[in-house]
Structure 1
């Protein structure tokens, strides 16, 4: 080499490096992830690289870096949430992009307090070009209302026809803005230019998805598990969530298909193969399917158009007109004859369909209802529906705006927030009265206030007030009463609770129970006796009457009503109504024909449940608890999980019951609720007992005891056994250390549990019983393990049968091949109709088929 060329090569190399640094590496398709406020970036819990945001800032003098003062236990990763970029004035990021590409922008917010900044004072305006993404946005209010520790806002933006994107943060008046993480990812063209607009004439009824800017509202793996961003297709790092918390329909069945997904002309980035390998259908009974539908309900922002994307993949059937169904959006028909095979031409071939609907604000609410219903007019071979995935996108309006309003916390949440403030205010009257064991009990101030109102209302001459009621889901069996309906409890209950529950007069209750006839007693609990009754002529109910001398009284009565009036889930009990008149406090539930889980395990050593049946019931209970912890608007801790509070309806669907001791969970500034210890011995979390600090992991501990109770068919406490075996939890932990867990197994199950399922089940159960809550799995992890155990057990059997019947358990993922699927549709349910058991309790759901 010519020595004279060496200086030139060195110079060119340095110049090239300088130019490379001058052009941020975000240009082009490489995904960009910024850990805002961090100098070094870092790696998240999945070892994904995040870089500092410094070099992308414009007018950086108006912003500061900061570190969160608190660390929420539910944070998925410290990166990017523990550092933040705080904006004191309008500040922008500038990213070099490809002018012809769509881009996904994700904004991550962790509304913790930061040094010198009160997070409740933060209100942000976020724009990109002329598009408004957020306006007057309070991450604090939003996280409180949704009971989430952190928030992610995702947007899909059309091509800018520019070589850069400017993302601007501006604080509202006298406040500050902040952000913890920013992602910028090139998005392949996944949208059509002609998506049908529901309810509009064909000539004008289309939406151009290619040129639309949109916000991702919901992304669901229907019938399947949560899909982590690292398992997404196309490198788009999307999260796909379980659809169950949004379901509002008849009983359904989840399927897992063992099929190779052939995308053909569909871009693989549309959805990962795991979305198309799972699905939800109605079930085996065509007579039920003809008269019911499957519905998902979403809370959305009013006065926007929404693009709803349906993901389909048929892997059971293979002919046209075998399964044909209608697609409806807010009761408007989007498509009348959906036939997946007609669309794709065969099994294992996915497709997606987009439909749009405008949602105004005529009634002051904003809900999107997505409904599928079999089309019986076309007489398909099977009356059923199928759906694999669902996405909902909000489209920008005519003002280039995507911003909605901050959510309004529920009445119960507002009461708790008020109670929290009063508990920390030394001048508050209530706070002086609610000190329990030296610690202010979260939420007790609200209850004390309600009791004070109750006492004032009962003063002589006071007007008891009146209220109307609405039957749960408007079921015909809960028709309006013809007798007096003065609600003596309405003044001390929230408006929602009163409106969502029926009020029964004491006369109606006495008629239903034959004046509380002792022969009608079907159970006795801490609250009082439970009676079998009949209302509205032929509707069987369970009536729970308060015992005036019971330690459980008005607090549990109101808690049960407040909780259950707001919760709707297939595996949670639902309240029909209540009565409060004179000194009587009564709760009314639908009658539960199969009683408690406990009585089917070891009552008189009469074992009636197989291992697979026990797994199905545990899965149902786990789904109910998982929903309480993560699916509701705020975390709910049951606090009394045990086998007598897991009930079975006539179809052997497990439901979690008895919410009298339940508590709303900690807010985002706490990782526990300080409260007096309550629960049942044998199931009580030792960490909760020692520290009087309640978390959702306390429920996990109790459920761990339930798991061993089901496996071993013995009570949580049995004083008649040797000392080391009295406590089931302690005995299980000792046996695990000795390697002798198999010796504890119920003799009826020995040799009938596959080794892999047994190991997975017991490992999960032992982790649930960990002494420290942080070491226990979440209820979601427990649910996943139980479902995996069921899949292992059903690999040979192929199907799972509910106890004493051929009915498949609701919402349980089971592999179903073609012949099984056809058999399911050709055979109706053959439910067991045994005589009512004397120990049967109650399910508290008005009509399971109407949900």
Structure 2
């Protein structure tokens, strides 16, 4: 196969390298259709890869320059050689293709976040083609099977001369892709004209046609059969998991003869060509099971329910092939969508009578708000052969054009700059002249008219509401909207309603002071936690604003990251990635989770300390969390810890002052007593709170327990007392006592004692705490990697190994308004609330 030339273009450096092969023998009925050899690309690869009978060309053989992007190579096993490498994009980039023929094309993108230094699973990006968003806020993972690649398949009309697929990383993140396929399809594989299903039953022509849209594959089922792949390399999977009332259907005996494709590749339906669906699909089927009571046909509907996006148009294709009847027209039955009759199947005179003849019917269906499309087949009791059957089913999401897709950055060609500059200048002059003339005419007209003294037009009241009303852009009492809010993270309220089934109780996974937390699934399939304030209340607005400002500006693998937010219709909603293992406290006491080992607990403490250390020192000016506790430390599926909930955060003290004066906020049991007395906030307040967390990890009990004797109620006071009396061993969690090395325990307990000092100046920095915890791990392992005496004080030393990268300076959070009254939280109900938050797994801050 001739190797095509590929080009990836960056907005910082645009190089016009294009594919050189030309299409041949396509769209000519006399020559027939064969899947083209281009464009099949193994992204980031030095070698071509053979997969499913196709050769995916290596980028390294394309003589292309990849300015601003890099290659990642797999470090573990993968399901296919195609996923051994990936192309990484740190900024907006695109692939550009030469297009010779106008037609319907299939674009297939492969994503597999294998283990790599960049941590591909932390990527967040959008993918677009001109005028359409294909993927938004995508992370490249397969939500149904983490060991399989995520393959996204799109059908679209493309015209010459060129076509671009653009990858747009989200802020502080990156994009990647493992493989790309782009090739023209046979004529009439998908027709522009299609019927639209009406909710009351029947059909009407679909307005605008399909060629003005993009189709994204959602389901492709081999009904009654097994997994197979067709000539266009499309995957067909079994239908059983989508079948309702399984007793009503049975698999037909497979057909071993020849399927009669009675039309050529370039003919239009309803009769199928060999590229419509393979013989493995048309040679198997599910049919009505009438063995129980053949007289009551009403009980024998065969029904499939397939998950789709709510309130969205979907293209539905149903495949039929009657390979049991001896002559045409004997087996006919009713097709219903959402229980509304659409048509009689197999009674169409256009279907070939030469059985077995494959055929299909297409519809566009607007899905309801239940998240499924339901298709039913019902036998006709008057038919000579009373049965119903289905061989295959496809559902594709209809993607509408979007004006929000940014135009692709143009190639920096100096030859084009002069005409563009002259055109801009001339256009500006013409516009200025027009504006002056219009202004003159308007003033002349106003002089001739009498002034209007009274007017029926009044300002629209704020609470009259439009879905676009925003709390964050309201004019404040100071006369200006809140600065520095990242509007690029806004998610429409309707999307969050669909994701959470309109905040249904079945999706509720937690409650807290801010409001309820719901599990949701966004349009792109990402599972998220949706933290919603009490609708209509004014409480929590400063915390809402602070959370957005802090998390939209900082990135660290041990700090939770914000997916998005919504502030429409007086709502305050924060969206985070769903958290598999919940909060740290969920695993310590009063839990059904397995007990955490001492080594795992130590690593969780180190992860948390790293996040807080970056918060204090990595973000220019520093940020104080102000609510460090075990319910704000979250664990992913591998027990990697991240610090969460930045609603009470404040920017740290400036160089000219040692503290920040502020009203007291935090949670009883974790609250720094010095801060409580003086209302002077420093980084050492977080250190105190973290010391309580360390003690909580060691003892696995609540920080405040009124049921205990007076001197034991407060865990921090009780722990220090036991440490001074030499009885700390007696209050350690019994499940880990035998696992702890005594030297490791000594270092860990000394770290707790230093963190809980009454005077903040006597406490270590978070960097010192991190050093000591790392040392405790080495002692636990019995290693001598750290040459340091066990009793050496580390409060004034920070290991040189903990150096932070350069981080862009944050806007000051001092612009946030804050009430002067004291707010102190009780930690009664937080255990369920923080079940849900995670971060984009960005390797140490970028």
TM-score by length of 2: 0.43
TM (norm. structure 1) is 0.43
Higher relative contact order (CA 8 A, sep 6+): 1
- Structure with the largest fraction of helix: 1
Bigger Rg over Cα: 2
